[in-house]
Structure 1
Amino acid sequence: MQATRRAVFGMGAGLALSSPALAQGTAPFPSRPIRFVVPFAPAGGSDIVARLLVEELAPRLGQPLVVENRPGQAASVGAAHVAQQPPDGYTILICTPGVQMTNPFLYSNLPYDAERGFTPIVHIAYLPNILVVHPSLPARSVAEFVAHARANPDRLSFSSTGPGSSSHLAMELFMSMSGTRMTHVPYRSSGQALTDLMAGRVDASLDSFAAMIPAVRAGSLRVLGISTERPLEDHPEIPAIAATLPGYEGTTLLYMVGPAGIPAPIVQRLNTAFNEVLALPRIRERFREMGMAASGGTPEELAQVIAEGRTKWRGVIERANVKLD
């Protein structure tokens, strides 16, 4: 599949840091442009983040980064393309949990090996969901919402951005941990769900902070809690759902991988550059404006996040009996 869109950013080779050579006589990495694959359409959240990062990565790596959009089949098209590339560090993929943590359990046949087909590089950001309700609902806290839902099994409805999406699975986890049952109403986008939420045609949602918070500020929705383990630094007024349901965490994330088998020196080179960019105040501030929290860390830490996420979301999917084939 041809890339639907690509953008090339400047080299800034004069500012490049020293980079490791894999073996005597080989060129140091990187010695040519790096392809940065986004498995979603242009102008979406992952695409915006990718283009924001490459502007800062290019001068640190001393080579251009070419953003390629390869959308389709719940990110499977882009993921499969990257998994099939040589493990040389010149093709990398920005991921959401679907690529490795949920798609393997939602679809019976994926065109890539979700568990062994990729090399972890770096965790980029957390994207919290918030629990919101229509103001007509008699609940002003997570505890009150749980009590109301328990007293009215299957009578409340919740929206999502589609079966198997982050917003759907976050609420399935919520219902499992709270002992509640609600009716799932899937939409194609957060915008469509938001319209019906504000109109009172749907009672609740556990959806993207960035998508829902403007309606909260306008008074059209009431926010009850956030899906992170602790309240956000910039929004301490929104309590963590985990304060009522200990251990609850329903936050999505963005991270970088490459094909399986990338040599450790190349992985470290990329990881170092990403961590430097993620530590920049202007990047962290831009992420906060987008409703995200910048992360970072080692490839080993990311590998653990992925492994734990696979176990967690597999359980949620199996208990809810969600299948998309």
Structure 2
Amino acid sequence: MKPYASPRACATLAALILALQGAAAQADGPWPNKPVRVIMPFAAGGSSDLVGRQVAQSLSAHYGQQFVAENRAGAGGNIGVDAVAKSAPDGYTLGIGTSGPLANNKSLYHPMPFDAEKDLTPIALVGEIPVVIAVNPAVKANTLAEFVALSKSSANAVTVSNPGNGTIGHLATEYLSIHTGAKLQPVPYKGDSPAMVDAMSGSVSAVVAPVTSLIPNIQANKLRALAVMSKTRFPGLPDVPTANEQGVKLEATVWSAMVGPAGLPKSVVSSLNAEINKYTASPEGKAKLNSLGMVPLSGTPEQLRELMRNEATKWQEVVKSARISIE
């Protein structure tokens, strides 16, 4: 005798089959059809985190799906970016990385938990925060050339604070010393603020750090900015010349970009790239990123890949020459 199935059981089974088919169709539907996780590799509240959250918010509005920011800080950004690199390449885990974990850290951390060139998909550049060199007002130098000359004539190396060992401020100071012959002594601190405070007090002669945290004290004449280390002048300090303008070929910035795991579908990459470029070029995007001290940028995924490769090579030479290491 065949087992009997009641009409109610048949109806329940049919509903279950339809639900499963619907779920499968949804999973295979247009991206994104569920929330997207956006990993921020630094602590909440910092400039990099705030930039990432602005981008995530704009993407949520555009796609009609939540792009949820998740902080995974540690190891100079490596922990968060490693989580991106090891995620499924389905478009539902992305990251907002910076020049540290996407390029510079390759030479500083041994071993690296991921290979940025092989394990990540470049998506879109968001913007950059230039590095600035500023001196205590008592230092007798008004230009970068005068500062270099002063260091060469001093009996001891001129002390220059930075936000920490291996940070872009540290690397830029070593680059300046290597390429100009300046006699400088980098002094690492734990963050921008203490490095800046000791430069203002005269405990050290100068500070090299991302411009964002230094702007108020430069404008208040508590520090004298000698140069910004970007291709063009920084809009927030239009009277401060670039290092390039002063004959020193030095560019050092903290740039931010969206990346995903290797193998991310081209359709997802193209869609995100177009939308992020649209945001960074919009009046709203420019205003919000400018408020965080960032200069908005745009470009193709291929240009971002080239930037990652070139920056890694440039700073590798500095790390090797200066014998910088992070334990």
TM-score, length basis structure 1: 0.89
Match of 2:280 among 268, 278, 281: 278
Please, which of 161, 184, 190 is the counterpart of residue 159 of structure 1? 161
Alignment of 1:296-311 (within 5 A): 296-311=298-313
| Within-5 A mapping of 1:117-128 | 117-128=119-130
Q: How far 1:145 moved relative to its partner?
A: 0.7
> Percent identity between the aligned chains?
34
- What is the aligned length? 301
Q: Is the 8 A contact 2:236 2:293 kept in 1?
A: no
Which one-letter code corresponds to 2:252 in the other structure?
A: G
Given residue 272 of structure 1, which amino acid in structure 2 is its aligned partner? A
Contact 1:153 1:181 in 2 (8 A): no
| 1:228 Cα deviation from its structure 2 partner | 0.7
The offset of 1:289, in angstroms, is 2.3
Note the alpha carbon deviations across 1:105-143, whole angstroms, 9 max, x for none: 111112222321100000000111111000111101111
| Aligned-residue offset at 1:161 | 0.9
1:9 is matched with which residue?
A: none
> Aligned to 1:128, what secondary structure does the other structure show?
strand
Give the ranges of 4+ consecutive aligned residues of structure 1 lying more than 3 Å apart after TM superposition. Answer: none
Q: Which moved more, 1:108-117 or 1:305-314?
A: 108-117
Cα-to-partner distance string for 1:17-69 (whole Å, 9 max, x where unaligned)? xxxxxxxx931111111101001111111111122222221121221111000
* Residue identity opposite 2:166 in structure 1: G
Q: Does 1:202 align with 2:204?
A: yes
| Structure 1 match to 2:41 | 39
TM-score when normalising by structure 2: 0.89
Work out which of the residue numbers 88, 91, 115 in structure 1 matches 2:90.
88
Residue type of the alignment partner of 1:31: N
5 Å-filtered alignment, 1:16-165, equals 26-152=28-154, 154-165=156-167
Distance 2:82 2:292 in 1: 28
Contact map agreement 1:134 1:200 (CA 8 A) in 2: yes
1:252-306: CA deviation from partner (whole Å, max 9, x where unpaired): 2111110011121111011111112112212212222222100011101111111
Could you say what secondary structure the match of 1:74 adopts? helix
* 1: CA distance, partners of 2:155 / 2:231: 27
What amino acid is aligned across from residue 265 of structure 1 in structure 2?
S
Contact 1:130 / 1:227 at 8 angstroms: preserved in 2?
yes
Q: Distance in 1 between matches of 2:197 and 2:236?
A: 26
Q: 1:75 to 1:153 in 2, by over 3 A?
A: farther
Residue 180 (structure 1) aligned to one of 150, 160, 182: 182
Q: Secondary structure at the match of 1:198?
A: helix
The separation in 1 between residues aligned to 2:57 and 2:155, in whole angstroms, is: 50
Residue by residue, what CA displacement relative to the aligned partner does 1:178-224 show, whole Å, maximum 9, x if unpaired?
11121111110111111111100010112111111111111111111
More divergent stretch after superposition (152-161 vs 33-42): 152-161
Gaps of 5+ in 2: 1-26
Q: Distance in 1 between matches of 2:170 and 2:138?
A: 22
Q: Which residue of 2 aligns with 1:7?
A: none
Distance 2:191 2:243 in 1: 23
Please, which of 263, 266, 271 is the counterpart of residue 269 of structure 1? 271
Unpaired stretches in structure 1, ≥5 consecutive residues: 1-24
Letter aligned with residue 170 of structure 2: H
Contact 1:171-1:205 at 8 Å conserved across structures: no
Letter in 2 for 1:191: S
Partner of 1:11 in structure 2?
none
Query: Aligned-pair RMSD on alpha carbons?
Result: 1.4
Whether the 8 Å contact between 1:101 and 1:314 is mirrored in structure 2 is no
The DSSP-based 3-state class of the residue aligned with 2:134 is: strand
Report the secondary structure of 1:92's partner residue.
strand
Partner of 2:259: 257
Per-residue CA deviations over 1:139-161 (Å, capped at 9, x if unaligned) read 01111111111112643100011
* Higher Cα radius of gyration: 2
